[in-house]
């Protein structure tokens, strides 16, 4: 670890800062519980250890000491991109997501009442939008920006400095591309993919993407509006021996298990194999396709130049008897999908990551 930490020394102006950086890095990488808490990072007891000298020293380093976090993160990414074991390649994906943690009070920066994924409900806390690069072998964070709720700004949502999570996510995706990070597509769940504005920003930046949509997401057509699950019902299926429009996809898990899913290109309004955005549906069993499915996964991507394999770029549902849909796109009319029959999907992590500085932000 010392050899790794020494490569950041020129970014810190004092010996105390260099020591604080090493203590922080050790706290992140050591196999401790609660490594999001200051006391655990410092190796002291919860609550009662908050006044310990090690905890106080680390607190000062993180909150008061004058060093440039953007420069430190840029150096970390530079090292990751230069290492053959962690260098990004065009077969990986850029995952946009956010995570929230509870935080009481009003004085803390960025705190507010909002949805927190860690507890699954609306509560007071801090939410951070992140980007992560991943393939079947390894994953690591790239950038992270805290979301600041509107009440922190004088003009609230009308304030020029206010940014939604969608705007932050699109900004971070562009920032990753500008930093030289290669990836096949930007991947996100329905919290991002269900919004036209987010997909439009990625398309304008010429970034390919694969998104999920909520199961109730509808699309207006020249006839009636209907949902991805309705498009799935129109696909031919006569059983595993005569799958019709469906193709088998093998989903591989990190523990070595595999399951067979079925995927197909569907047509929903202007979304389809020959449109500007592909719509791919995925399910464990195409036969039932219930009238009210447990959920749908439509990833969205701007159009390939030619019809691509229906097994490409799919992300299956976690519900065992549900229909899902997936789409992918780019900002230009280039083919963005290729067949993958041994992957759990673009945002899956199918192999454990060895402990290293690549798996955690510095």
Kindly report, residue by residue over 27-67, the tens digit of the pLDDT. Answer: 988 887 766 788 888 888 888 888 999 999 999 999 999 99
Average pLDDT over residues 101-111: 85
Closest CA to 251 of 241, 242, 260: 260
Q: Model confidence at 19, in pLDDT bands (50, 70, 90)?
A: very high
Average of per-residue pLDDT values in the chain: 79
Summarised one tens digit per residue, pLDDT across range 188-213 is 998 998 888 999 999 999 999 999 87
User: What whole-number distance in Å separates Cα of residue 92 and Cα of residue 72?
Assistant: 24
Assess whether pLDDT exceeds 80 at residue 172: yes
User: What whole-number distance in Å separates Cα of residue 191 and Cα of residue 17?
Assistant: 38
Helix 165-178 to helix 196-204 angle (10° resolution) is 20
- Model pLDDT, residue 324: 46
- Model pLDDT, residue 287: 84
The residue that leads in pLDDT, 286 or 12, is 12
Q: CB under 8 Å to 75, separation ≥6 — which residues?
A: 7, 8, 11
Assess whether pLDDT exceeds 80 at residue 352: no
Summarised one tens digit per residue, pLDDT across range 120-161 is 889 999 999 999 999 988 999 999 999 999 999 999 999 999
Structure tokens at 5: 């930490």
Pick the range with the lowest mean pLDDT from 68-72, 165-169, 312-316, 341-345: 341-345
Pick the range with the lowest mean pLDDT from 140-144, 161-165, 219-223, 261-265: 219-223
Q: CB under 8 Å to 196, separation ≥6 — which residues?
A: none
Pick the range with the lowest mean pLDDT from 62-66, 105-109, 315-319: 315-319
Burial class (CB in 10 A: 0-12, 13-18, 19+), 77: buried
Assess whether pLDDT exceeds 80 at residue 315: no
- Model pLDDT, residue 289: 60
Q: Model confidence at 331, in pLDDT bands (50, 70, 90)?
A: very low
Summarised one tens digit per residue, pLDDT across range 230-259 is 888 888 999 999 999 999 999 888 788 999
The three-state (H, E, C) secondary structure of 131-148, written as one string:
EEEECCCCEEEEEEEEEC
- Model pLDDT, residue 224: 55
Burial class (CB in 10 A: 0-12, 13-18, 19+), 105: exposed
Element counts in the chain: helices (H) and strands (E): 9, 11
Strand-pairing partners, residue 147, are 127
φ and ψ at 345, to 5 degrees?
A: 115, 165
- Model pLDDT, residue 103: 86
Average pLDDT over residues 65-73: 94
- Model pLDDT, residue 13: 94
Closest CA to 320 of 284, 294, 273: 284
DSSP element (H, E) containing 210: strand 209-211
Q: Is 301 helix (H, G, I), strand (E, B) or coil?
A: strand
Assess whether pLDDT exceeds 60 at residue 14: yes
Pick the range with the lowest mean pLDDT from 94-98, 124-128, 268-272: 268-272
Q: Are 310 and 341 in contact (CB under 8 A)?
A: no
Assess whether pLDDT exceeds 90 at residue 163: yes
Assess whether pLDDT exceeds 50 at residue 348: no
Model pTM score: 0.76
Q: Model confidence at 2, in pLDDT bands (50, 70, 90)?
A: very high
Summarised one tens digit per residue, pLDDT across range 291-304 is 434 344 444 444 44
- Model pLDDT, residue 218: 66
Q: Model confidence at 182, in pLDDT bands (50, 70, 90)?
A: very high
Q: CB under 8 Å to 319, separation ≥6 — which residues?
A: 293, 294, 295
Q: Model confidence at 216, in pLDDT bands (50, 70, 90)?
A: low
φ and ψ at 43, to 5 degrees?
A: 75, 30
* String of DSSP letters for 34-72: -TTSHHHHHT--TTGGGGSHHHHHHHHHHHTS---HHHH
The residue that leads in pLDDT, 128 or 118, is 128
Closest CA to 308 of 341, 264, 347, 343: 264
Q: Is 22 helix (H, G, I), strand (E, B) or coil?
A: helix
Burial class (CB in 10 A: 0-12, 13-18, 19+), 81: middle
Longest dimension (CA), the chain: 71
- Model pLDDT, residue 314: 36
């Amino acid at each position: 670890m010392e050899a790794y930490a020494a490569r950041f020394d020129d970014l810190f102006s004092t010996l105390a800062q260099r020591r604080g950086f090493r203590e922080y890095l050790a706290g992140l990488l050591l196999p401790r519980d609660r490594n999001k808490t200051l006391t655990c990072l410092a190796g002291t007891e919860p609550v009662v250890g908050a006044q310990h000298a090690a905890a106080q020293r680390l607190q000062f380093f993180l909150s008061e000491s004058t060093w440039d976090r953007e420069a430190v993160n840029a150096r970390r990414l530079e090292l990751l991109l230069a290492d053959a074991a962690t260098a990004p390649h065009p077969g990986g994906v850029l995952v946009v997501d956010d995570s929230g943690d509870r935080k009481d009070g009003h004085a803390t920066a960025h705190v507010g009442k909002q949805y927190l994924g860690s507890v699954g409900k609306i509560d007071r806390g801090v939410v951070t939008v992140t980007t992560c690069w991943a393939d079947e072998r390894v994953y690591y964070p790239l950038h992270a920006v805290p979301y600041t709720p509107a009440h922190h700004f004088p003009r609230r949502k009308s304030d020029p400095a206010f940014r939604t999570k969608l705007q932050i996510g699109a900004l971070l995706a562009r920032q990753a591309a500008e930093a030289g990070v290669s990836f096949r597509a930007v991947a996100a769940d329905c919290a991002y993919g269900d919004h036209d504005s987010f997909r439009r920003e990625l398309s304008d930046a010429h970034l390919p993407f694969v998104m999920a949509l909520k199961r109730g997401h509808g699309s207006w057509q020249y006839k009636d509006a209907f949902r991805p699950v309705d498009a799935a019902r129109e696909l031919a299926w006569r059983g595993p021996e005569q799958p019709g429009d469906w193709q088998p996809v093998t989903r591989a898990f990190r523990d070595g298990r595999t399951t067979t899913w079925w995927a197909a290109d569907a047509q929903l309004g202007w979304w389809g194999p020959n449109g500007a955005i592909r719509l791919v549906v995925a399910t464990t069993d195409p036969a039932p396709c219930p009238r009210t499915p447990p959920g749908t996964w439509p990833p969205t991507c701007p159009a390939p130049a030619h019809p691509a394999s229906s097994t490409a770029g799919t992300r299956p549902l976690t519900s065992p008897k549900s229909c899902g849909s997936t789409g992918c796109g780019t900002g230009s009319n280039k083919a963005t999908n290729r067949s993958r029959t041994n992957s759990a999907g673009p945002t899956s992590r199918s192999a454990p990551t060895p402990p290293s500085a690549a798996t955690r932000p510095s």
